């Protein structure tokens, strides 16, 4: 079955040699990886560097921090206590920005204090 305007190509798998089947498999896997990367990239672009985000860790804790970098498949965020996490963008949620009552400077929201090791 094909969508309207789409050209279908019938491949008789029984007539392909082993090497042709292997080549076809590699092409299919590469194409599927491309679709996965496109979806990850699209979900990444829903968030901006500097934005506050959260996700639920495997142990049930809610981790909150600032998105600091886009990676190939993940985004990096730094928590308020300085820990760094690489997370799939599909797991992220937006968080309201932290506002310090004593701070009148809006730029101070985007400054992170890193822990010293």
Query: pTM here?
Result: 0.57
Beta strands 75-79 and 62-70 are: antiparallel
CATH number of 12-100: 2.30.30.140
In which residue are the tokens 């929201």 written?
109
Q: What is the pLDDT of residues 19-62, one digit of tens each?
A: 999 999 999 999 999 998 888 888 888 899 999 999 999 999 99
Residue 96 pLDDT greater than 90, yes or no: no
Domain assignments of the chain as residue spans, ordered by start: 12-100
Per-residue b/e over 4-39, b at no fewer than 16 CB within 10 Å?
Answer: eeeeeeeeeeeeeeeeeeeeeeeeeeeeeeeeeeee
């Amino acid at each position: 079955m094909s969508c309207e305007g789409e050209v279908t190509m019938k491949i008789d798998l029984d007539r392909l040699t082993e090497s042709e089947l292997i080549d076809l498999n590699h092409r299919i896997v590469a194409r599927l990886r491309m679709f996965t990367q496109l979806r990850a990239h699209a979900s990444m672009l829903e968030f901006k560097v500097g934005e506050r985000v959260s996700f639920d860790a495997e142990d049930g804790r809610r981790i909150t921090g600032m998105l600091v970098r886009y990676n190939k498949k993940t985004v990096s965020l730094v928590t308020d206590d300085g820990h760094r996490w690489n997370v799939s963008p599909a797991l992220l949620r937006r968080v309201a920005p932290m506002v310090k009552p004593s701070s009148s400077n809006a730029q101070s929201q985007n400054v992170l204090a890193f822990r010293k090791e």
